[in-house]
Chains A and B, each alone.
Chain A
Amino acid sequence: MKIVCRCEDISEEDIVKAIDEYGCETLAELKQLLRLGMGHCQGRTCLILAAKILARKTGKSIQEIMPSFRPPVVPVDIGLIGGENEE
């Protein structure tokens, strides 16, 4: 078994199955169904790997299947942004 997304524990087989069973054509759809790239690393490791699997299976280009990126770029503490981290 090849692990693609380490944060959410998703394998290549999971991705191939989602593409075959649900007809996923974009990374956004894989995110919705599998939580691919939604873990602590923000998809830095897995999204490009998953994009390659999708491109291979659907014949689409990488550009067509990349999702939107959502801030913040790195995880930030709530207390730091909210301005009340006394400790």
Chain B
Amino acid sequence: MKNEADVVVIGGGINGCAIAYELAKRGKDIIVVERKWLAYGATGRCGAGIRQQWATKENAMLAKKSVEIFEGLSEELGYDIGLRQGGYLIAIHDEEGMKQAKKNVEMQRSIGLPVRIIGEDEIKEIAPILSPEGMEAIAATFCPTDGHANPFKTTYAYAMAAKKLGAEIYKFTEVKDIKVEEGKVKKVITNRGEIKTKYVVNAAGAWSREIGKMVGLEMPNKPVRKEAMVTEPLKRMFDCMVISFKHGIYFSQQDEGQILGGIPSPEEKVGYHTEPTFSFLKHMAHMLGKYAPSLKHVSILRQWTGFYDVTPDALPILGETSIEGFIQCNGFSGHGFMIAPMTARLLAQLICGEKIDMDISRLNMDRFKGEITEEKAVVG
């Protein structure tokens, strides 16, 4: 194990690996430390969706720029990431939902997203498996450039590309402490040795707040157990992700044919709980049967849990802190995968002192001292 690096990235999920790649590309000497294995946490347990239809401009812009990167990523990294742009179909259930949707669509279109409101007929055209009646939907919003990528393949693609550029990735390496002197990051202490560094990127997902404590930062992030399930594989029936903010449900058909989805569990808990619940499975199966009645005859193969790393406003925490060299990259609140490409690029630009493509100062941790604007377009 090396004992010195320009930047130590804590966390081998999509964000940690993407930042490692972006920094290595800029000639930096990088070490990634991961307590388990790559994509062990939220990345490897996520719904794999890539959505640009957000209610806050920050999220919508990060997602839009990320999609532009995703589109060329297999070629850039030299590994297939399993990208498919089948769109996101977001159910609208009532007049109030329609008002919010119109507002969102107006903002989204103003930044150049090809989003539109569609009626019941078009819902059935785009995904014949859906029942607008069962969904209790009067309409939907649809953005055809939204989609899906394989979280495992994408994480490994970034990691392998970073390694080729000289980055070191240490699995099964747990951070025990971070030494700070005169307000500056000096050293990362792991169970396998110490690493001297000036920069630490805190990309530890649901465990980020524990890493923050090591440098004396109290972070507002909370780990929330979320559940997901997957069915047996079927022939291709629909290409889009289907979601509803009212019901909290999301589901899509993956490349291998399986239906993968989630919904807030009736027993949703804050804290590091990992046990799956039957009440989730029952609720999810019930709602899936309403949304797509023909799926009632399909078998569920697996369910599992993962953590959302949730902030008070459901927006990520990005950028510098009061500790010099301690960079935040966490608090993704359930959408870290889809905005990782742009987030990683911006933070790499910040660390390297380059001109930053997009202003992310509003996503700094300091925002929690004042009034906050909450992202409401959250599912799962």
Contact = CB atoms under 8 A, between A and B. Distances in A.
Interface of A: 22-23, 25-26, 28-29, 32-33, 35, 38-40, 42, 70-72, 75-85
Interface string B214-251: 00000000000000000111000000000000000000
* Most chain A CB neighbours (cut-off 10 Å) among B231, B301, B303: B301
B323 interface: no
A82 B282 CA distance: 5
* Most chain B CB neighbours (cut-off 10 Å) among A33, A75, A81: A81
Contact of A81 (B153, B171, B300): B300
Contact of A84 (B37, B40, B289): B289
Contact of B37 (A29, A79, A83): A29
Given A22-B160, A35-B256, A71-B276, A83 B282 contact: yes
B299 A78 contact: yes
Given A25-B37, A32-B152, A35-B256, A72 B296 contact: no
Q: In which size bucket is the chain B interface?
A: 20 to 34
A42 B172 CA distance: 26
- 8 A-B pairs with the lowest CB-CB distances in the bound complex, closest first: A79-B296, A75-B299, A82-B285, A81-B285, A82-B286, A32-B152, A82-B289, A70-B302
B81 interface: no
A35 B285 CA distance: 23
B295 A78 contact: yes
B156 interface: yes
Given A22-B156, A84-B286, 5 more contacts: A25-B37, A70-B303, A71-B302, A78-B297, A78-B298
B18 interface: no
Given A29-B37, A77-B296, A70 B285 contact: no
Nearest to B302: A70
B3 to A, nearest CB: 21
B44 interface: yes
B61 interface: no
Given A32-B44, A35-B256, A82 B299 contact: no
27 contacts: A25-B37, A26-B37, A32-B38, A32-B39, A33-B153, A33-B156, A39-B233, A40-B232, A40-B299, A42-B301, A71-B281, A71-B302, A72-B301, A72-B302, A77-B299, A77-B300, A78-B289, A79-B296, A80-B285, A81-B300, A82-B288, A83-B282, A83-B286, A84-B289, A84-B290, A84-B296, A85-B296
B300 A76 contact: yes
A39 B232 CA distance: 7
A40 B256 contact: no
A72 B37 contact: no
A32 to B, nearest CB: 4
Contacts of A84: 286, 289-290, 296
Given A42-B301, A72-B300, A83-B282, A78 B231 contact: yes
Contacts of B152: 32-33
B118 to A, nearest CB: 26
Nearest to A22: B156
Contacts of A76: 299-300
A72 B229 CA distance: 10
Nearest to A79: B296
A16 to B, nearest CB: 17
A79 B289 CA distance: 6
A77 B37 contact: no
A81 B315 CA distance: 34
Contact of B300 (A23, A29, A78, A85): A78
Contacts of B286: 81-84
